């Protein structure tokens, strides 16, 4: 008896599933993937759009910038996402993959900026850092003070890095290598710090034959050679020390905030929106003389900030209901403007001219061209 | 006698009594330790077994056993623990099939059909050769359902009334009716041990078997319940052929016509019960029944 | 040897034996107390963190449903946001500066305008009337009211400014602030605004997934268990199958997610983020567990029952279906529920098939985009807004409640089946 009913239900479900699967040819909601940094902003826009129109609320997945672009570029059609968010610009290789898979026209929309902050607990004194300090404190290999050759990072306390800093152990909680925040941090803070050394800066610009001598000067083994000096430079600047001074604290930025409270001597690396929401618990460190404030990031004076983007498939705009409306909502002043709700969520808006340019591009659906 | 011998059973004609006695004598001479003394063969048997060997994997549990079981007799099987009584009993309705490593060779016949024939269907076979186990094992269902289960799966009752009739008759035959008639819907597992065993006998009777196999049916029961079951067996032998394994020699003496003595996988002796217990022909049988070992 | 009586030797050793027993009991007891303490600590910390999420601050605002702002013909598309702002301005007429106005608007949730819209849609006659309306407070106000924001900190260090606190105090004095039971938490889908975020969407997603998982894995798992245990020949091939099933049960769940991605999404082109695919993935994940527990349950049925059925001439199939299976059922159900509970708590494989997503609309079927309860917890735990912290704990409480209910059902079903003797 029981057996029979169960088998009938099973059969019904399987056939039902098969039918719906074949029927699922159409999709009536916008599918968005991509960066976890853009996720809080994209979801806010999606919700506003869904609630204030008759369209379904777009679905936003948090897959990371790279994962999002991979999904985005895998093809055209309802089973592929319409929009991907990214906390960096699309790479040439990704763009080419898109082209190869028939995604000819991609609309690029820059939405604003995100600042990456180094913060500590309010129980301790605020830190005044430079990018050089950050590089010296966190890189795996740093130029030796005398010989200028790269050596394993010898610094144990901030005072050793820079005599004006307090005599406390270097302890930094930050995201793992898979995170977009970590990429941005390496690119903006660590590279910036590395470039303050003349030889490193030269290496970054060097090409072809110029690379080798610089490498010997810095004491980099032959095996790390690359024609482009920039690659060699990045490899060094992006390598973060693994001797315990830098602690990978997982992707969850809330967790880092909690850990800073528990250990007031440590610093944490996370996105500006988490600082914005937790100002009563943690304080941002000054970097190169600029505080991580809304204004500082917006006008570009705070050095560790990055632009945020999303990319749209033009061919989907006319097929999937709601894309146009979502784009209009995102690029409206009430969303991404200075007083807009995204600013409340911690996104730093672009200057008005930049906003106008991108809003116009979106309106005309001007596709992106990478040489 | 002659009439029976010349009747249409093919085996009887193929092998005269003379020949059989001679072959037995030969066995006695050739393999004195191995052969069956006494009276294993009967005329016109209900079941007949020839040179039955049973193996559990590599281990042999029954060696070259030949015996007949005649209509409406009670055959008792005795012997020390582990001598293969249960193993042999379970060959008679192919209950050994459930044990993977068990292998049976030789010839076992019910009437004229070969029990171990490939074409033999065990379902009707087990309906014809019912079984009662050592430990009472009623289904965890009501008393009624316990009895009704067999007739239902075999389709013996066309209507509910017929089924109820079968249940009642079976319970009456098993001598349990008076005790349970008011609580047929109560669980069979709630009865006492002796009642449970009679319930199991009723369950076996309900499908109308010809032979009933009983494997130490009283070993888990107290003396009073044992006496009840023994009485019941005496009743049942008028209608059924019964093979009973027992540890209790008094019981064998009380209920059976013939008794078979098994010893380490060999069938040493089969005789009329009174003969076996008074004048055993095998030394080992005598040792066993006089309690020198076992 | 010596002339001690055996009883004396026994007596002498007795104290030692009892001591040993006592020590063993003590160790067992302390292990249980230790784990119970952890459990109590865990539950109470979740509860203390989360219970405040079950009520929510509201503000009473006088609203004039201004016909000038509300187009009678199409009220749905009217600018209700403006209506909320206008009403706030009339409540606090002395707020003039632009910056201050923005702070004032921040007191009410962005959901407030949708509340007003729904009121007008339900009763168009409201247009042109004055009403006093309870609107959801912003999450920052809610946090202040619940004591999570310290008023004594300098203004720059908190998300709510001194003027705002002044307004809130005024509203409190006027009896215009109250807490009410947070129904929205149980009836809404996800939201970026903590005050209007709910778990119904995720709960429905979990429900659809588990329904598919159960409907597929239970009959198939039980069928496989019966076949392997009762019918399959015991040989090399069945040994290999058995080893493989045991291995599958230990495979990390993320692997099933990858499998689901490759098979259901990339090959069969089933929709992303759909409970259908989630259910299929969790089905594959729970199947080995159900087969293994099913086999154990079958093994634990005494062979005498099988013999009894076979003895009256039941076929093997009948013996199994009529007698063995009903007795094994309680064990099988327990196994199935444990498998389901594991499936309910699973989030890793769902990441691969796109179910870690922001989804506002409540799924209405197995192919609608959906998330699951554990995924919702994960997403909220990762949200910057402070108010999501308590909601995360509240969602954990809901998940735990479901688990308790499921286990309760298992116990109930077991006793029900067992009562059939
Ligand atoms: N299922 C089995 N697997 C292996 N050996 C068995 C099995 N059942 C019985 N045997 C062996 O077969 C021999 C005969 O057993 P059995 O027929 O049960 O003896 P009895 O019923 O006379 O006490 C014993 O040695 C016993 O160990
Ligand atoms: Mg036995």
Q: What is the CATH number of the domain that holds A336?
A: 3.40.190.10
d(CA B69, CA C41): 74
Contact A274, A41 (CB under 8 A): no
Indicate which residue's Cα is closest to atom 20 of ligand 1. Answer: B82
Chain B residue set in contact with C, beta carbons under 8 Å = 93, 95, 98, 100, 123-127, 130-133, 135, 137-141, 149-150, 153-154, 187, 189-190, 200, 203-204, 206-207
Please indicate, yes or no, if residue C206 is contained in any of the structural domains: yes
Domain that holds residue A73: 27-113+307-364
Please indicate, yes or no, if residue B123 is contained in any of the structural domains: yes
Q: How confident is the model at residue A12 (pLDDT cuts 50, 70, 90)?
A: low
Q: How confident is the model at residue B53 (pLDDT cuts 50, 70, 90)?
A: very high
CB atoms within 10 A of CB C368: 25
Q: What is the pLDDT of residue A15?
A: 59
Q: What value does the mean pLDDT take over residues B54-65?
A: 93
Q: How many domains does chain B have?
A: 1
- Of C374, C369, C351, C358, the C-alpha closest to A61 is C358
Shortest distance between the Cα of A59 and any Cα of chain C, in A, equals 5
Please indicate, yes or no, if residue C153 is contained in any of the structural domains: yes
d(CA C52, CA C144): 12
Q: What is the pLDDT of residue B6?
A: 38
Question: Which of B55, B77, B86 has most ligand 1 atoms within 8 Å of CB, for mutation?
Answer: B86
Please indicate, yes or no, if residue C353 is contained in any of the structural domains: yes
What is the per-residue pLDDT across B118-156, written as a single tens digit (0 to 9) for each?
Answer: 888 999 999 999 999 999 999 999 999 999 999 999 999
For chain C, 421 residues long, the average pLDDT of each consecutive 10-residue run is 76 89 95 96 93 92 84 71 87 82 87 87 85 90 88 79 89 90 93 92 95 94 93 88 92 92 89 93 94 93 91 92 90 88 91 90 91 93 88 94 87 72 46
CATH number (domain holding residue B86): 3.40.50.300
d(CA B290, CA B268): 16
d(CA C151, CA C139): 16
Q: What is the pLDDT of residue A81?
A: 93
- Same domain, yes or no: C173 and C214: no
- Same domain, yes or no: C128 and C236: no
Range with the lowest mean pLDDT among A309-318, B237-246, B280-289? B280-289
Indicate which residue's Cα is closest to atom 25 of ligand 1. Answer: B82
- Same domain, yes or no: C354 and C283: yes
Task: Look at A10 and C156 and tell me if their CB atoms are within 8 Å.
Answer: no
Q: What is the pLDDT of residue B11?
A: 43
Chain C, 174 to 193: residues with Cβ < 8 Å from chain A are 189, 191-193
- Of B246, B260, B242, the C-alpha closest to B130 is B242
In angstroms, the Cα distances linking A288 to A129, A247, A302, A304 are 6, 23, 8, 10
What is the per-residue pLDDT across B160-216, written as a single tens digit (0 to 9) for each?
Answer: 999 999 999 999 988 899 999 999 999 999 999 999 999 999 999 999 899 999 999
- Of C281, C284, C282, the C-alpha closest to C270 is C281
C117 CB within 8 Å of a chain B CB? no
Q: What is the pLDDT of residue A284?
A: 92
Please indicate, yes or no, if residue A156 is contained in any of the structural domains: no
Q: How many domains does chain C have?
A: 2
Please indicate, yes or no, if residue C7 is contained in any of the structural domains: no
C349 CB within 8 Å of a chain A CB? no
Please indicate, yes or no, if residue B187 is contained in any of the structural domains: no
Domain that holds residue B68: 41-139+193-289
The three-state secondary structure class of B179 is helix
Q: Going by DSSP bridges, is the β-strand pair B241-245/B74-78 parallel, antiparallel, or unpaired? A: parallel
Q: How confident is the model at residue A267 (pLDDT cuts 50, 70, 90)?
A: very high
- Same domain, yes or no: C295 and C377: yes
- Same domain, yes or no: C237 and C350: yes
Please indicate, yes or no, if residue B10 is contained in any of the structural domains: no
Task: Look at A59 and C369 and tell me if their CB atoms are within 8 Å.
Answer: yes
What is the per-residue pLDDT across C295-337, written as a single tens digit (0 to 9) for each?
Answer: 999 998 988 999 999 999 999 999 999 999 988 988 898 889 8
CA angle A305, A308, A310 (to 5 degrees): 170
Among C136, C384, C392, the strongest candidate for a mutation testing the A interface, having the largest count of A CBs within 10 A, is: C384
**DSSP 8-state class, residue A222:** G
Q: How many domains does chain A have?
A: 1
What is the per-residue pLDDT across A356-368, written as a single tens digit (0 to 9) for each?
Answer: 999 999 999 888 8
C310: chain B residues, CB-CB within 8 Å = 95, 98, 126
Please indicate, yes or no, if residue A50 is contained in any of the structural domains: yes
- Same domain, yes or no: C257 and C400: yes
Beta bridge partners of B241: B211
Please indicate, yes or no, if residue C317 is contained in any of the structural domains: yes
Please indicate, yes or no, if residue C37 is contained in any of the structural domains: no
| Chains in contact with B, where contact requires at least 3 CB pairs less than 8 Å apart | C
Q: Ligand 2 centroid to B81 CA: how many Å?
A: 7
Task: Look at C314 and B138 and tell me if their CB atoms are within 8 Å.
Answer: no
Please indicate, yes or no, if residue A80 is contained in any of the structural domains: yes
Please indicate, yes or no, if residue B62 is contained in any of the structural domains: yes
What is the per-residue pLDDT across C175-212, written as a single tens digit (0 to 9) for each?
Answer: 899 999 999 999 999 998 899 999 999 999 999 999 99
Q: How confident is the model at residue A120 (pLDDT cuts 50, 70, 90)?
A: very high
- Same domain, yes or no: C176 and C212: no
Cite the beta strand spans of chain B per DSSP E.
Answer: 37-38, 45-56, 59-70, 74-78, 102-110, 113-114, 129-132, 211-215, 241-245, 258-263, 266-272
Shortest distance between the Cα of B284 and any Cα of chain C, in A, equals 33
Task: Look at C313 and B138 and tell me if their CB atoms are within 8 Å.
Answer: no
- Same domain, yes or no: C243 and C382: yes
d(CA C113, CA A136): 51
Chain A, 89 to 128: residues with Cβ < 8 Å from chain C are 122
ipTM: 0.82
- Same domain, yes or no: C346 and C284: yes
Among A64, A277, A320, A346, the strongest candidate for a mutation testing the C interface, having the largest count of C CBs within 10 A, is: A277
d(CA A44, CA A340): 11
Q: What is the pLDDT of residue A13?
A: 57
C226 CB within 8 Å of a chain A CB? no
Indicate which residue's Cα is closest to atom 2 of ligand 1. Answer: B56
Q: What is the pLDDT of residue B28?
A: 43
Residue A295 half-sphere exposure toward CB, CA atoms < 13 A: 2
Please indicate, yes or no, if residue B88 is contained in any of the structural domains: yes
- Same domain, yes or no: C78 and C136: yes
Indicate which residue's Cα is closest to atom 3 of ligand 1. Answer: B56
Please indicate, yes or no, if residue A347 is contained in any of the structural domains: yes
Q: How confident is the model at residue A345 (pLDDT cuts 50, 70, 90)?
A: confident
- Same domain, yes or no: C151 and C298: no
A329 CB within 8 Å of a chain C CB? no
Cite the beta strand spans of B111-183 per DSSP E.
Answer: 113-114, 129-132
- Of B130, B125, B220, the C-alpha closest to B174 is B130
Please indicate, yes or no, if residue B22 is contained in any of the structural domains: no
Please indicate, yes or no, if residue B294 is contained in any of the structural domains: no
A3 CB within 8 Å of a chain C CB? yes
Shortest distance between the Cα of C298 and any Cα of chain B, in A, equals 15
Q: Ligand 2 centroid to C22 CA: how many Å?
A: 42
d(CA A311, CA B195): 82
Average pLDDT, chain B: 85
Please indicate, yes or no, if residue C266 is contained in any of the structural domains: yes
Indicate the residue of A20, A59, A271 with minimum beta-carbon distance to C359.
A59
* Closest ligand (CA of B88): 1
What is the per-residue pLDDT across A136-194, written as a single tens digit (0 to 9) for each?
Answer: 999 999 998 888 888 999 999 999 999 999 999 999 999 888 677 788 889 889 999 99
Task: Look at B126 and C313 and tell me if their CB atoms are within 8 Å.
Answer: yes
Q: What is the pTM of this model?
A: 0.81
Minimum Cα–Cα distance from B96: chain C residue: C307
C114 CB within 8 Å of a chain A CB? yes
Please indicate, yes or no, if residue C13 is contained in any of the structural domains: no
Domain that holds residue C352: 200-417
- Same domain, yes or no: C145 and C221: no
Please indicate, yes or no, if residue B258 is contained in any of the structural domains: yes
A27: chain C residues, CB-CB within 8 Å = 271
CATH number (domain holding residue C268): 1.10.3720.10
């Amino acid at each position: 008896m029981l057996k029979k009913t169960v088998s009938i239900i099973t059969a019904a479900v399987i056939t039902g599933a098969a039918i719906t699967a074949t029927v699922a040819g159409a999709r009536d909601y916008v599918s968005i993937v991509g960066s976890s940094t853009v996720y809080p902003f994209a979801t806010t826009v999606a919700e506003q759009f869904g609630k204030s129109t008759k369209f379904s609320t777009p679905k936003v997945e948090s897959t990371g910038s790279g994962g999002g672009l991979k999904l985005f570029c895998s093809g055209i059609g309802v089973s592929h996402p319409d929009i991907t968010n990214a906390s960096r610009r699309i790479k040439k290789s990704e763009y080419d993959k898109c082209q190869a898979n028939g995604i000819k026209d991609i609309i690029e929309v820059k939405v604003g900026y995100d600042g990456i902050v180094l913060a500590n607990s309010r129980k301790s004194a605020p830190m005044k850092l430079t990018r050089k300090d950050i590089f010296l404190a966190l890189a795996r290999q740093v130029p030796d003070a005398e010989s200028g050759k790269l050596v394993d990072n010898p610094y144990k306390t901030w005072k050793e890095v820079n005599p004006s800093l307090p005599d406390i152990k270097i302890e930094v909680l930050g995201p793992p290598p898979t995170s977009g925040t970590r990429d941005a941090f390496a690119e903006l803070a660590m590279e910036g710090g590395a470039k303050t050394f003349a030889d490193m800066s030269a290496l970054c610009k060097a090409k072809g034959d110029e690379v080798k001598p610089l490498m010997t000067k810095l004491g980099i083994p032959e095996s790390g050679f690359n024609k482009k000096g920039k690659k060699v430079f990045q490899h060094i600047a992006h390598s973060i020390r693994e001797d315990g001074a830098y602690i990978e604290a997982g992707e969850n930025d809330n967790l880092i905030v909690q850990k800073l409270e528990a250990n007031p001597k440590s610093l944490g690396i996370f996105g500006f929106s988490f600082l914005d929401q937790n100002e009563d618990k943690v304080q941002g460190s000054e970097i190169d003389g600029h505080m991580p404030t809304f204004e500082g990031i917006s006008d570009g004076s705070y050095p560790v900030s990055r632009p945020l983007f999303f990319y749209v498939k033009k061919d989907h705009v006319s097929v999937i209901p709601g894309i146009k409306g979502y784009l209009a909502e995102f690029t409206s002043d009430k969303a991404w403007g200075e007083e807009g709700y995204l600013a409340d969520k911690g996104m730093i808006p672009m200057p008005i001219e930049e906003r106008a340019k991108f809003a116009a591009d979106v309106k005309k659906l001007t596709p992106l061209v990478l040489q | 006698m002659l009439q029976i011998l010349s009747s249409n059973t093919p085996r009887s004609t193929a092998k005269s009594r003379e020949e059989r006695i001679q072959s037995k004598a030969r066995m006695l001479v050739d393999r004195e330790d191995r052969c069956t003394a006494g009276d294993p063969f009967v005329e016109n048997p209900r079941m007949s077994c020839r040179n039955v060997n049973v193996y559990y994997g590599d281990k042999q549990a029954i060696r070259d056993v030949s015996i007949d079981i005649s209509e409406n007799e009670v055959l008792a099987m005795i012997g020390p623990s582990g001598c293969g009584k249960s193993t042999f009993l379970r060959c008679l309705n192919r209950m050994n099939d459930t044990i993977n490593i068990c292998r049976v060779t030789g010839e076992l016949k019910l009437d004229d059909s070969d029990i171990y024939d490939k074409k033999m269907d065990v379902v009707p076979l087990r309906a014809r050769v019912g079984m009662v186990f050592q430990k009472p094992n009623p289904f965890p269902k009501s008393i009624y359902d316990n009895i009704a289960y067999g007739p239902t799966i075999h389709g013996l009752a066309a209507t509910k009334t017929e089924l109820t009739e079968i249940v009642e008759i079976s319970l009456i035959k098993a001598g349990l009716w008076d005790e349970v008639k008011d609580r047929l819907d109560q669980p069979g597992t709630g009865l006492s041990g002796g009642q449970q065993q009679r319930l199991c006998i009723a369950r076996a009777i309900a499908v109308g078997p010809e032979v009933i196999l009983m494997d130490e049916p009283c070993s888990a029961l107290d003396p009073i319940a044992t006496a009840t079951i023994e009485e019941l067996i005496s009743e049942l032998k008028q209608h059924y052929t019964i093979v009973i394994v027992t540890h209790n020699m008094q019981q064998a003496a009380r209920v059976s016509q013939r008794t078979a003595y098994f010893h380490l996988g060999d069938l040493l002796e089969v005789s009329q019960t009174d003969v076996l217990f008074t004048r055993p022909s095998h030394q080992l049988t005598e040792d066993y029944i006089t309690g020198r070992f076992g | 040897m010596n002339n001690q009586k055996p009883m004396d030797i026994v007596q002498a050793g007795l104290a030692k034996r009892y001591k040993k027993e006592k020590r063993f009991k003590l160790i067992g007891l302390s292990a249980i107390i230790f784990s119970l303490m952890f459990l109590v600590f865990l539950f109470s910390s979740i509860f203390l963190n989360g219970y405040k999420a079950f009520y929510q601050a509201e503000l009473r605002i006088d609203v004039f449903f201004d016909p000038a702002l509300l187009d009678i013909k199409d009220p749905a598309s009217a600018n209700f946001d403006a209506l909320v702002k206008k009403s706030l301005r009339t409540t606090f007429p002395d707020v003039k500066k632009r910056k201050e106005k923005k702070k004032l608007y921040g007191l009410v949730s962005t959901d407030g305008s949708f509340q007003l819209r729904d009121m007008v849609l339900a009763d168009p006659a409201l247009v042109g009337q004055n009403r006093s309306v309870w609107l959801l407070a912003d999450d920052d106000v809610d946090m202040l009211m619940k004591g999570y924001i310290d008023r004594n900190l300098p203004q720059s260090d908190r998300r709510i400014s001194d003027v705002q606190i002044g307004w809130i105090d005024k509203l409190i004095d006027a009896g215009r602030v109250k807490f009410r039971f947070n129904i929205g938490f149980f009836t809404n889908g996800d939201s970026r605004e903590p005050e209007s975020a709910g778990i119904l969407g995720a709960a429905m997603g979990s429900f659809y997934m588990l329904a598919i998982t159960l409907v597929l894995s239970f009959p198939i798992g039980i069928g496989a268990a019966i076949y392997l245990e009762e019918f399959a020949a015991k040989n090399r091939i069945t040994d290999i199958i058995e080893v493989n099933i045991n291995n599958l049960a230990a495979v990390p769940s993320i692997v099933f997610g990858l499998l689901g991605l490759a098979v259901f999404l990339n090959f069969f082109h089933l929709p992303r983020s759909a409970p259908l695919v989630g259910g299929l993935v969790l089905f594959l994940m729970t199947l080995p567990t159900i087969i293994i527990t099913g086999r154990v349950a079958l093994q634990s049925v005494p062979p005498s029952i099988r013999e009894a059925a076979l003895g009256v001439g039941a076929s093997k199939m009948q013996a199994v279906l009529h007698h063995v299976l009903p007795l094994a059922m309680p064990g099988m159900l327990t196994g199935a529920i444990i498998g389901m509970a594991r499936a309910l708590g699973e989030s890793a494989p769902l990441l691969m098939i796109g179910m870690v997503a922001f989804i506002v609309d409540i799924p209405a079927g197995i192919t609608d985009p959906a998330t699951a309860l554990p995924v919702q917890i994960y997403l909220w735990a990762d949200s910057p807004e402070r108010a999501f912290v308590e909601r995360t704990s509240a969602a954990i409480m809901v998940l735990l409640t479901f688990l308790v209910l499921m286990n309760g059902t298992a116990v109930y079903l077991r006793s029900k089946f067992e009562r059939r003797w």
